[in-house]
Chains A and B, each alone.
Chain A
Amino acid sequence: MRTVGAISLGAVLALALAGCGGSGDSGAAGGPQTISFLTHWGPEQVTALKAAAAAFHTKNPDVTVDIRAVPFANLLSTLRTQGASPNGPTIAGIYDLWLPELVRDGLAAPAPSGVAADVKAGWPANMADGVTKQGQVRGYPNEVDLYALNYNKKLFAEAGIPAPPKTWDELTADAAKLTKRDGGKVTQQGFGVITSWASGAVHPWLSLVNSNGGQLLDGSTPKLDDPKVVAAAQLYADLVKSGATQPSMSSANANTTGPYLDNFVNGKTGMIIMANWWQSALKQAMGDRYSDVGVAPVPVGPEGTGSAGVSYSWLTMVNGKASPSKQDAAWKFLQFLNGPESGKGGSSAMGDILMSMGILPSRTSDLTAHKAELSDPFIAAYVAELPNAKPFPTVLGGEAMSQAVQKHIENVVFGKETAQQAMTAAQSEVAGILAKAGA
């Protein structure tokens, strides 16, 4: 027994000795700095970002920016596992829903006064507010995405529908006209929904809720049992019951592709509520048939006063766990990357990169510089809806909240719960999640 104890102690000591070798910050204060930029962008955008980093290095030889790219699905887990380590990413592009937690845990550093002033001067007030937490600007707003109704103009013409629906009643009627059956089987659905993907399930549904005068949260209090919210769930239930929405056509996979996308691009779905970023996916998958795609505001519900699709944004933040010298270098680089001198024709390099993906930039001068590209009918329809969009609430526990709402929306879609049951249960669950998260 003593032998085993001695062996174990020896092993533990060996481990302790091995684990004592800490890794310090390589960049001494004031000396040359190497900082890293974590992103989920694809190879083309990473190349553009590397070019911007090289241009910055030419002007600032003391700062070298390494670009680290990971798939979207691994971005948050990479931040969680590497964010607090000495060699973790200095800069990260993040989804705004993650910001409250990153601020709480000290990962999203407050911006210096010069950067805060830059953000307030160069971006619309609602975007600057979106990156302000605990009274301090936490990064540069980048892309903005919002939801609108996408519809297939060819299918509309075939069904004799002259214009996209403006109200829920019109949506229901048009969805019925667009639905085709072969015997008892639906071969073309009028209105598509998305399942197996939290944002894909929640954001389009919440766009309908917003357009019916409802809301997900009032501050940090859930409002899911509000009749205006329940009505949107009931709309889904009614569409499924009528056959105009086919649950089997709704699923998504980890790549945010799958049957919901396939059915729309193959002309098997008449309408779907989706965000502007999927333009590139539609173009790639539809080829010439992309011209069949039309975009319209989210239909307004009986209790609503106007269309209000959900919007969300991404921002670039600086790691508050990095050394002060690295943080300074990182803010300097971000100021360059988001400034009007780093891109083409008055755009920032960030604006150019976002536009290369068909994504809306948010800096006012970027929107001006890319005015011609933004006049593309698909994007223009989204730009027109930007002032009416309602940002998805960013609160502590936001991810878990989204998943809880997703579960109950899917329960309605698959007939496991009635609209009222689903929203009552979601209200209780979300309240518990937010209370536990300290929202």
Chain B
Amino acid sequence: MTVQASRSARRGAAIAFLSPAMAVIVLFVAVPIALTFWISLHDWSMYTPLSQMTWRGLGNYTDLLHSDDFLNALGNTLVYVVLVLVTTVPLALALGMLLYFPKAAGKAVARAALFSTYVIPTVAIAIVWGALYAPDYGPISQALGAVGIDSPAWLSDPQTALLSLVIFHVWQMTGYYTILVIAGLTQIPDDVYEAARIDGAGFWRQTFSVTLPLLRRTTTFIVLIAAINAIQVFDPVYILTQGGPAESTTVLSYAIQRAAFQNGMAGQASAMAFSLLLVLVAVAGVVLAAMRRRTAAEGRS
């Protein structure tokens, strides 16, 4: 067999082996993304075939730029993401270290309990949280009232509704991120801590000079996943607030659903969805680029 024939055979084998995987990726990733972009260039109610969509060009995108509702949803989403990240990530790191380092009984039970909030379907638990958040007569308000604290109206007040949803998100997701932190901690060799202790490092020095630096890859992953999960938040908004009161909890995913399925503006909804995709790609790009730059800088030093 000639070298040319050998290369051809290898190329054929590559095509044969990779085609099924590529078909899946094209079917479930590339086609929906391309279709979403194509729909975003049209007006479409979803009641008619795709072939009967009305061409709008970039009209849906320019409409978004001038839409107070879209900008409000974008702003709410950003606030939600920032609040989730600044709360969840430090909390998960702290809980992860707390559940990994001390030699205490019941750690497995504590881990399971923390993780269980992630396993329970959001729909079911959101209903429970709706009852907990009831103003005045709800358990949380009653408990605060019992100790003399004037409870906020939680989901019933535009000032606190988004924050209430953040608290729910943190409660639900922190356990999952904590488990990821613990998994990351298991990858740090004991030798490193032993060396640090010999050099006289105490608990805080070990945390900031050993644990956190060596957890960077895990932390980056958690930040990325937490940001994406927060950007995509939908269920609690849909179930508990319907974007209200006074649009205070209208986030992008809810605005997309409302535009497409309630208002029959699938073109505009697709423009929002595609914009959201671009935001997600940008966020992921920034996080990963920062990580690479840091790693490269450390490599040089």
Q: Please, could you name 12 A-B residue pairs with CB atoms under 8 Å apart, sorted by A?
A: A3-B11, A6-B11, A7-B14, A10-B22, A11-B22, A101-B45, A195-B246, A249-B136, A251-B244, A259-B156, A397-B263, A416-B158
Minimum distance in angstroms from A102 CB to a CB of chain B: 7
Q: Please state if B45 and A7 are interface contacts (CB–CB under 8 Å).
A: no
- Asked if A80 contacts B264 (CB within 8 A), the reply is yes
Q: Interface-forming stretch among B188-196, B234-242, B289-297?
A: B234-242
Stretch at the interface among B46-54, B84-92, B93-101, B213-221: B46-54
Chain B residues, CB < 8 A from A101: 45, 47, 264
Q: Does A20 contact B (CB under 8 A)?
A: no
Least Cβ–Cβ distance between B55 and chain A, in angstroms: 15
Q: How far is the CB of B158 from chain A (nearest CB, A)?
A: 5
B258 within 8 Å of A (CB atoms): yes
Q: Decide: A10 near B46, CB < 8 A? Known: A195-B244, A254-B238.
A: no
| Binary per-residue interface labels of chain B (54-90) against chain A in the complex, 1 for a CB within 8 Å, 0 otherwise | 0000000000000001000000000000000000000
B246 cross-chain contacts in A, Cβ below 8 A: 195, 407, 410-411, 413-414, 416
CA distance A251 to B22 in the complex (A): 48
Residues on A with C-beta less than 8 A from B135 are 248-249, 259
Q: Is A304 an interface residue (CB 8 A)?
A: no
Contact A196 B241 (CB under 8 A): yes
Quote the shortest CB–CB distance from A89 to chain B (angstroms).
12
Q: Give B140-163 interface residues, CB cut-off 8 Å to A.
A: 150, 153, 155-158
Q: Are B14 and A403 in contact (CB under 8 A)?
A: no
Assuming A11-B26, A101-B264, A410-B246, is B241 touching A251 (CB within 8 A)?
A: yes
Q: Which of these, B134, B247, B258, contacts A259 with CB under 8 Å?
A: B134
Q: Which residues of A contact B137 (CB under 8 A)?
A: 262, 266
Q: Give every chain A residue within 8 A of B157 (Cβ-Cβ).
A: 247-248, 414
Interface string of B258-283 (1 = CB under 8 A from A): 10111111000000000000000000
Partner of B45 from the list A77, A105, A253, A262 (CB cut-off 8 Å) is: A105
Q: Cβ of A106 < 8 Å from any Cβ of B?
A: yes
Contacts of B258 in A (CB 8 A): 403
A98 to chain B, nearest CB (A): 9
Report B-chain residues with C-beta under 8 Å of the C-beta of A104: 45
Rank and list the top 8 A-B pairs by shortest CB-CB distance, nearest first: A196-B244, A248-B153, A105-B47, A77-B261, A410-B246, A11-B23, A80-B46, A251-B156
Residue in chain B with minimal CB distance to A14: B23
Q: Report the minimum CB–CB distance from B243 to chain A (whole Å).
A: 8
Besides A101-B45, A397-B263, A410-B244, 18 more A-B contacts (Cβ < 8 Å) are A10-B15, A76-B261, A80-B260, A101-B47, A187-B136, A196-B244, A197-B244, A248-B156, A251-B155, A253-B241, A258-B130, A262-B137, A266-B137, A399-B264, A407-B69, A413-B245, A413-B246, A414-B245
- Known contacts A195-B244, A247-B245, A248-B153; A3 and B15 CB within 8 A of each other: yes
Determine the chain B residues whose CB is within 8 A of the CB of A252 once the complex forms. Answer: 242
Nearest to A101 among chain B residues (CB) is B264
Closest CB in chain B relative to A104 CB, distance in Å: 8
- Interface membership of B119, Cβ < 8 A: no
Q: Measured between C-beta atoms, what is the minimum distance from B267 to chain A in Å? A: 11
Count of chain B residues with a beta carbon within 8 Å of a chain A beta carbon: 45
List residues of chain A with CB within 8 A of the CB of B150.
Answer: 185
Binding site for A on B (CB under 8 A): 11, 14-15, 18-19, 22-23, 25-27, 31, 45-49, 69, 130, 134-137, 150, 153, 155-158, 238-247, 258, 260-265
Check A276 for interface membership: any CB of B closer than 8 A. no
Residue of B nearest to A433 (CB): B263
Q: How far is the CA of A259 from the CA of B135 in the complex (A)?
A: 7
Whose C-beta in chain B lies nearest to the C-beta of A438?
B43
Choose one: B27, B153, B155, B260; the contact of A15 (CB below 8 Å): B27
Asked whether B245 lies within 8 Å of A253 as measured between CB atoms, the reply is no
Q: How far, in Å, is B30 (CB) from chain A's closest CB?
A: 9
Q: Is the CB of B130 within 8 A of A102?
A: no
Interface range on chain A (Cβ under 8 Å from partner): 35 or more
| A253-B130, A259-B135 known; A83 vs B47 contact (CB < 8 Å) | yes
Most central of A106, A262, A407 by chain B CB within 10 Å: A407
CA distance A171 to B19 in the complex (A): 72
Contacts of B264 in A (CB 8 A): 80, 101, 399
| Inter-subunit contact A11/B156 (CB<8 Å) | no
Q: A84 touching B47 by the CB < 8 A rule?
A: yes
B245 touches A195 (CB 8 A): yes
* Nearest CB on B from A7, distance (A): 5
Which residues of B have CB within 8 Å of A23? none
Name A406's closest neighbour in chain B (CB-CB).
Answer: B244
Closest A residue to B246 by beta carbon equals A410
Residue numbers in B under 8 Å from A106 (CB-CB): 47-48
A383 contacts chain B at the CB level, 8 A cutoff: no
What is the chain A residue whose CB lies nearest that of B25? A11
Choose from A15, A76, A413 the contact partner of B23 (Cβ within 8 Å).
Answer: A15
CB-CB < 8 A to B158: which residues of A? 414, 416
The CA-CA distance from A138 to B194 in the complex, in Å, is 80
CA distance A249 to B134 in the complex (A): 9
Residues of chain A in range 227-266 having any CB-CB distance to chain B below 8 Å: 247-254, 258-259, 262, 266
A427 to B: closest C-beta gap in Å? 15
Q: How far is the CB of A431 from chain B (nearest CB, A)?
A: 15
Q: Does A400 contact B (CB under 8 A)?
A: yes
**Minimum distance in angstroms from B149 CB to a CB of chain A:** 13
A94-128 CB contact bits vs B (8 Å, 1 = yes)?
00000001101111000000000000000000000
Residues of A within 8 A of B244 (CB): 195-197, 251, 406, 410
Decide if A81 is an interface residue (CB 8 Å cutoff). Answer: yes
**B156–A253 CB distance below 8 A:** no
Q: A253-B241, A410-B246, A411-B246 are in contact. Are A400 and B263 (CB under 8 A)?
A: yes
Distance (Å) between the CB of A91 and the closest chain B CB? 16
If A11-B23, A253-B240 touch, does A81 touch B46 (CB 8 Å cutoff)? yes
| A7/B15 in contact, CB under 8 A | yes
Chain B residues near A76 (CB, 8 Å)? 261-262
Is there contact, CB below 8 Å, between A80 and B239? no
Assess whether A12 is interfacial by the CB under 8 Å rule: yes
CA distance A14 to B11 in the complex (A): 19
Query: A187–B145 Cα gap in the complex (Å)?
Result: 13
Chain B residues with Cβ below 8 Å from A403 are 258, 262-263
Residues of A within 8 A of B156 (CB): 195, 247-251, 259
Q: Bound complex: CA of A266 vs CA of B136, how far in Å? A: 12
A368 in contact (CB, < 8 A): no
B4 to chain A, nearest CB (A): 14
In the bound complex, do residue B242 and residue A197 qualify as a contact, i.e. CB atoms below 8 Å apart? yes
Alpha-carbon distance between A282 and B189 when the two chains are bound, in angstroms = 63
